[in-house]
Structure 1
Amino acid sequence: MVRPGQQWWRDAVIYQIYPRSWADSDGDGIGDLPGITQRLPHLTYLGVDAVWLSPFYTSPQRDGGYDVADYRDVDPLFGTLADFDALTARAHELGLRVIVDIVPNHSSSDHPWFQAALASPPGSPERARYLFRDGSDGGRLPPNNWTSMFGGPAWTRITEADGSPGQWYLHMFDRSQPDFDWTNPEVRDELEDVLRFWLDRGVDGFRIDVAHGLVKYENLPDTDLTLDANVDATALAPMWDQPGVHEIYRSWRRLADSYAIEGQDADRILCAEAWVLPGPALAQYVRADELHQSFNFEYLMTPWLTADQRAAITDSLAQADAVGAPQTWVLSNHDVVRHATRLGYPQRPGLQRIEGIGADDPQPDAALGLRRARAATAVMLALPGSAYLFQGEELGLPEATQLPDEARQDPTFARTDGKSKGRDGCRVPIPWEGDAPSYGFGPGGRSWLPQPPEYADLAVDRQRDVPGSTLELYRQLLALRRKHRLGRGRLVWLDDQPHDVLAFRVESDEGAVTVLANPGGSPLPLPAGAQILARTGTPGTAGQVDPDETVWLNG
């Protein structure tokens, strides 16, 4: 689906699947690899270029699979290695590339390495694979004041084999996710071998979890920063974005490049999940000899306001261009509130990251949120570079904001005593058939998280081939994006429009497309003779761009 010989990743549209929530083949209420394989034709219908799979490895599932106990096998919950091979083969038959998650910052506490560390004495080679330290105040207190991103302290004290209180180990996330010590060559060798294992099975790349967290500042000093969801602090904190990560990724890039096939567009790619600000620091991850892509979370958190959108797009393109990389755009994923809900709240200047939403929290304007989400997506898919979509956003799925607390499974909810509702709301299983049990998610009525009743009308079968549906809007935009090669284009701002209109033209070898987005409150007249290619309004009004609508024009 991407033209050969062109470094496919530079303008690819990549679709994220959260395996437990996409399709259930056996009726146990949890999605699996055979279910994904069965539903892959949906992605070719949609028109994306690649699929990214969140973790499916052997895991106790305390953090949705991001706590890996065996990096070289499939958890029985999701299937077998043979199922993975069948999925990869089918995806390649359909022209889809396959990207998988790699979780290098930490393992599960069930991992054999960590179990060996617990059974070994302080100072042993087994403990040297993780960040074990003696406590302060005679061992009674943690080694420093770092806090976990999931709430509470980032250190847990162990009981030694003889029953005495022992050392502490670092976990920047859940206590079941001990951080590796990346100064240890054994750790580096092991994770590179894991990459080879999956590359040898035919994967086309990796999304790197917590890519900015592998290296900690020497001696692990105290910090004055509060480590919650305040991503503005990450570039200044001693546990994030340390210079040593770049040497690791240069080594990984050499490894990935060794799998390229001469004369073919077969690059194996590396994409960073790096919550790093400001933008120039993030751009360092995508220099020519490092990673291919890094998610643009600054753009994700930009409100639907004209000035903020223009500034974020301008800065993002400049930062990527400075290092010769394509920009990578994203609006939703498995860790953030879905943008169809996020944009249903009042928009204020400055970066906005909304935490999970519960039934007792202020609720969004669902209709406004969907209208803005469609408009924002039409802006994103016109921008030069690559784009990532999160499963279900092509259906206009909102966040599940009414989940009962007893159904929540995100460890953030438990570790904060319910103060943070966590990420379950964006992970609810996908509706495929509006009238089927579990909305067609599986052959029975089971679903590991309860599905909101409004998902029935948003199911795939209720939207497919329906003019104006969100599904058909995504298909239309993706087809036009490919036809006009917008991902390979050059953006030019148009300053002949009112100040509250986001107006630009993207020029490529296949022509030009003008984009008019109206986050303002007044209708915008269309230029005389304008030829409309696509519009996000439901329905649009002839001769104008309505508030919270985006229109693509020919030329």
Structure 2
Amino acid sequence: MTLTTPDAVSVVTPAWWTSAVVYQVYPRSFADGNSDGIGDIRGIIGKLDHLQRLGVDVVWLSPVYRSPQADAGYDISDYQDIDPIFGSLADIDELIADLHSRGMKLVMDLVVNHTSDEHPWFVESRSSLDNPKRDWYWWRDPRPGFAAGQSGAEPTNWESFFSGPTWRLDEATGQYYLHLFDPKQPDLNWENPEVRAAVHGMMRWWLDRGIDGFRMDVINLISKDTTLPDAEPDPATGRGDGFAHYSHGPRLHEFLREMRREVFDGRDALLTVGEMPGVTTEEALLTTDPARRELDMVFQFEHVGLDHGSTKFDPRPLAPGALAASLTKWQDALGETGWNSLYLSNHDQPRTVSRFGNDGEFWRQSATALATMLHLQRGTPYIYQGEEIGMTNGSFPTLDAFRDIESLNFFARAGERGLDPADVLDGLRVNGRDNARTPVQWTGGAQAGFTKGRPWIEVNPNHTWLNADAQYDDPDSVFAYYQRLIALRHERAVIALGTFARVDAGDPAIFAFERSLDTERLFVVTNLSDDTLDAALPASWNHVSPVLANYPDAHGPRLRPWEARVLSSM
């Protein structure tokens, strides 16, 4: 949008989402409105006071579409209906209206790299070799020289994200279909213009219904190398990592620009964000450059892979300064042209304070320090449900306590890799996705106030003291601190629009940076460690005023464990 000033100079109005804060709701675990043990849309509606009190601007809703729930709703069988476990279309309409009446927006998850194998499109596609929708998915004959079903007959040797091969034989037609994730999640063939037109029509249907944008799941996988080459095989399994052949493919940017034209042009105040595993800074800059008209922002994965060893379930200690260095790299690379999505956790990642902080002795301090350094960078911050009260990783004493298909499949195939099952189980406890999926802890009472029934996954035992009710009226709580951070972004243009410059504070565990806009400067320093450290800060920081701190009596160069300070030149 542009405004014309009296002297006819055109001024670009900053996008509304530069000063916005997004809150992710994973509906299965947020709040249960009908006491069946599974969170639902009625439960979300009943907790909107919490989100309004927190001060967020946008709710990102993970999938509630009709689904067999093989991958917790990321396997969609009907894009234009709501799964009965979550409610109805009338419920989603009420949620949209209620959010809008409170000045908040709703962004829906868009999962269009793949569908469920129960989607009518795939049911038709697999019905015969000559069905008109056969080419809506990736079908291939067995590898030359192999019979269908024979070991090694899969068209490529790629390893699935959820373990095992990426191809499943359809016995009726004798061909294999591609599924980068679970076999119940066949990949759509975006090379087919009919597929793209159907997806665009579905997106317009939701926008016409009143939603305010989309978070696009693994959107960088929609363009693949159509020659489907093999990858370098792993000696243990014979399968290889085909990521280079199916991510950021040759037509990705073309597909995104077409989507912009066909779906979003002519509509105002929307948000488009793409989840892009493996995205580079160069690709992210291309995707988020407004002049290219693709997406507003992307989720990158570099910083959430820093503690991975040979796999994500082989966790390694995080080196001092590694997190700050990675985030700085992305701040510098996207600069003032692209745009960052700022996050530390989501439905696929373990809890922030357990992973990057100290969820024991310095639980409050590390939860607030991590929030400070994240929310005050250049980009749009995302809060994952429960993060605003400092929720920690769950308790999983045995394998039976886990629910996530990725974790269970990995454990089942651990023997193929020669891994010790006890070590794998420990890795699941640290980095498994179920850590983020335990129910939100509303109260210290039965089932944390999440449900009156039996929850689909066990509640974290620490809910007796770590819960929202205990924090609402406590000015020193994690929740109160998040309220102040969100208010700061709304109040100070320097946070939304200012430049970012890293400051060397003399120790890699200290993350310090300046934000500048015109004459206003904001100074942020955080000690991301359990140690007391002395910060070597520039002399210019001596004449600034305190804005926010997570310790009382914050002054001088000495930073206590996980201490965070925000100062201003104004």
The TM-score with structure 2 as length reference comes to 0.84
1:254 aligns with 2:261: yes
Whether 2:439 is the aligned partner of 1:429: answer yes
Determine the structure 2 residue equivalent to 1:351: none
Query: Structure 1 residues 414, 103: closer, same or farther in 2, change over 3 A?
Result: same
* 2:297 equivalent among 293, 304, 313: 293
Q: Which runs of 5+ in 1 are unaligned?
A: 261-265, 345-363
Which one of the candidate residues 63, 72, 90 is aligned to 1:64?
72
In structure 2, the CA distance between the partners of 1:155 and 1:549, relative to structure 1 (3 Å rule), is: same
Q: For 1:87 and 1:225, how far apart are their aligned partners in 2?
A: 48
Deviation at 1:306, TM superposition (A): 6.1
Residue identity in the other structure for 2:405: P
Matches of 1:253 and 1:390, distance apart in 2: 27
1:441 aligned residue:
450
Aligned partner of 1:548 in structure 2 is: 562
C-alpha displacement at 1:185, in angstroms?
Answer: 1.3
- Identify the residue that residue 144 of structure 1 maps to in structure 2: 156
Specify the SS of the correspondent of 2:177.
strand
Does structure 2 conserve the Cα–Cα contact (< 8 Å) formed by 1:259 and 1:267? no
**Alignment partner of 1:487 is 2:496:** yes
Root-mean-square deviation (Å): 2.6
Alpha-carbon offset, residue 522 of structure 1: 3.1
Specify the alignment match of 1:334 in structure 2.
347
CA distance in 2, matches of 1:540, 1:333: 33
Query: Offset at 1:79?
Result: 0.7
For residues 473-495 of structure 1, the C-alpha deviation after alignment (integer angstroms, 9 at most, x for no partner) is: 11111112222221211223334
Instruction: Give the drift of 1:548.
Output: 2.0
Counterpart check, 1:273 vs 2:275: yes
Moved more, 457-466 or 61-70: 457-466
- Which amino acid is the alignment partner of residue 423 of structure 1? R
Are the aligned partners of 2:19 and 2:489 in contact in 1 as well (CA < 8 Å)? no
1:347 matched residue in structure 2: none
Alignment of 1:91-102 (within 5 A): 91-102=99-110
- 2:294 aligned partner, one-letter code: E
Aligned twin of 1:352: none
Correspondence for 1:313 among 308, 327, 337: 327
- Does the 8 Å contact 2:124/2:131 carry over to 1? no
* Deviation at residue 529 of structure 1 after TM alignment: 6.5
- For 1:504, the aligned partner's letter is F
Q: What's the CA shift for 1:414?
A: 3.1
Query: Contact 2:157/2:233 (CA < 8 Å) preserved in 1?
Result: no
Q: Secondary structure at the match of 1:71?
A: strand
Q: Deviation of residue 547 (structure 1)? A: 2.5
The counterpart of 1:155, out of the listed 157, 167, 171, is: 167
Give the structure 2 partner of residue 197 of structure 1: 205
Which amino acid letter does the alignment assign opposite residue 436 of structure 2?
C
Distance 2:370 2:359 in 1: 16
In the alignment, is the contact (CA less than 8 A) between 1:117 and 1:127 conserved in 2? yes
* Residue 515, structure 1, aligned to residue 524, structure 2: yes
Report the counterpart of residue 231 of structure 2 in structure 1.
223
Query: Is the 8 Å Cα contact of residues 364 and 478 (structure 2) preserved in structure 1?
Result: no
- C-alpha distance in structure 1 between counterparts of 2:490 and 2:320, whole Å: 26
Identity of aligned residues (%): 35
Secondary structure at the counterpart of residue 476 of structure 1: helix
Match for residue 184 of structure 1? Answer: 192
Shift of 1:409: 2.1
Distance 1:456 1:530, change over 3 A: farther
Q: Is the CA contact (8 Å cut-off) linking 1:150 and 1:173 kept in structure 2?
A: yes
* TM superposition shift of 1:365: 5.5
| Match of residue 283 from structure 1 | 285
- Structure-2 residue corresponding to 1:104: 112
Measured after TM superposition, the shift of residue 533 of structure 1 is 1.9
Give the letter aligned to residue 354 of structure 2. T
Structure 1 stretch displaced more, 136-145 or 23-32: 136-145
1:500 Cα deviation after fit:
4.9
Equivalent residue, structure 2, for 1:47: 55
Distance in 2 (CA, whole Å) between partners of 1:509 and 1:428 is 44
The answer on 1:524 being equivalent to 2:534 is yes
SS of alignment partner, residue 157 of structure 1: strand
Q: 1:368 to 1:256 in 2, by over 3 A?
A: farther
* Cα offset, 1:498, TM superposition: 5.5
Bigger shift: residues 95-104 or 412-421: 412-421
Q: After superposition, give the CA deviation of every residue in 1:446-493 in whole Å (9 maximum; x if it has no partner).
A: 211100110221111011121221111111111122222212112233
Q: Which amino acid aligns with 2:440?
A: I
Residues 1:392 and 2:386 are matched in the alignment:
yes
- Residues 518, 524 of structure 1: 8 Å contact kept: no
Q: 1:381-408, CA deviations, whole angstroms, 9 ceiling, x for partnerless residues?
A: 1111211110100010011142542232
**Alpha-carbon distance between aligned partners in 1 of 2:525 and 2:474, rounded to the nearest angstrom:** 24
Cα 1:218–1:522 change in 2 (3 A) is: same
Q: Residue type matched to 1:296 in 2?
A: Q
Task: Say whether residues 1:242 and 2:241 are aligned partners.
Answer: no
Residue of 131, 135, 143 corresponding to 1:128: 135
Q: Which residue of structure 1 lines up, in the alignment, with residue 369 of structure 2?
A: 375
Is the 8 Å Cα contact of residues 384 and 488 (structure 1) preserved in structure 2? yes
**Following the alignment from structure 1 to structure 2, what is the Cα–Cα distance between the partners of residues 247 and 50?**
28
CA deviations over 1:13-66 (Å, ceiling 9, x no partner): 100000111111111111111111111121111111100000000001110100
Give matches, 1:414-425, under 5 Å: 414-418=408-412, 419=414, 421=428, 422-425=432-435
- Cα deviation for residue 125 of structure 1 reads 2.4
* Deviation string, structure 1 residues 250-269 (Cα, Å, up to 9, x no partner): 01112343242xxxxx3222
Q: Is the 8 A contact 1:333 1:390 kept in 2?
A: yes
Contact 1:142–1:155 (8 Å) recurs in 2: yes
Please list the CA deviations of residues 56-78 of structure 1 after superposition, one character each: whole Å capped at 9, or x if unmatched.
00001110100000000111111
Counterpart-to-counterpart distance in 2, 1:337 and 1:75 = 26
CA–CA separation in structure 2 for the residues paired with 1:226 and 1:470: 45
Specify the SS of the correspondent of 1:212. helix
For 2:299, the aligned partner's letter is F
- State the shift of 1:92 in Å: 0.6
1:418-447, Cα deviation, whole Å (9 max, x unpaired): 456341121111011212x221113x1421
TM-score, scaled relative to structure 1? 0.87
Distance of 1:510 and 1:225 partners within structure 2: 56
